[in-house]
Copies of this chain bind each other. A is one copy, B any other.
């Protein structure tokens, strides 16, 4: 068997790599797969599209920051890829230094601005005089520190980065939102859609017809009239001007279920553009509750009724 290659949004040792490792564990591929950090979400997805990698892992939603615009936009633009799985990992920052560093010499620390924002309370309380120096990622703060390529003497980074670069952890779990977590999706070339499990999500991106009042309501009614619920809805500008939106939506259910297939066809009619990004097992494994009027049986009975009506 040839080695499978997995792309992920780099750099190395971020929460995204942690998500990939979790996914590889779930699939029993950890020891055989090769993983490859990519510069940004677009590059990660490109590497799948051109066949270099068999899948890519990208963050899609953060419980603190919300949707990840770059991923959502990249997925939308790469409409020919599909999401086949999701993985959720806790967001947990550590304060790391080179082994043996005296905490009293901690005069500066590096991190990505997002990381810094989440540890501001901790740092103010414990290292009020430490100067913040921005880095391009939280893992880069650790790497550059380990490589003596940084001006900062400490890094705020994921535990994985501290471990990977041989740093010493001074303080663990220092973020303000200790229940913060990020959701990642695993993306492949289009192919077989994962089989329904009863606990699935479907992700789509829809652009409203701009010239209609109530267009969002009209779209949502296509879902509600088939009993399809949402677990996430994100508005994204189309780029065509302020106020022109498309929506990135996670739905509870699978496109192989009749209510989802019917609802998506309805949404296709009333929107300007609709992209299907995949149906896949939900990380929560919660069974999607179904009303008796929206089961596959109910849809099949309706179709049978219509057939018998039309054909006597």
Contact = CB atoms under 8 A, between A and B. Distances in A.
Contacts of A230: 216
Interface in A224-265: 224-226, 229-237, 239-245, 255-256, 261-262, 264-265
Interface string A163-193: 0000000000000010111010000001101
B265 A305 contact: yes
A196 interface: no
Given A191-B312, A217-B221, A274-B305, A299 B265 contact: yes
Given A65-B69, A222-B225, A274-B305, A243 B231 contact: yes
Contact of A266 (B135, B225, B237): B225
A177 B269 CA distance: 29
Among A136, A229, A301, A306: residue with most chain B CB under 10 A:
A306
A61 interface: yes
A95 B276 CA distance: 39
A229 B218 CA distance: 12
B231 A302 contact: no
Given A69-B66, A179-B241, A213-B229, A270 B293 contact: yes
A64 interface: yes
A66 B234 CA distance: 10
A11 interface: no
Closest 4 CB pairs of A and B: A265-B302, A268-B302, A225-B225, A276-B309
5 contacts: A66-B235, A216-B220, A232-B245, A262-B266, A270-B293
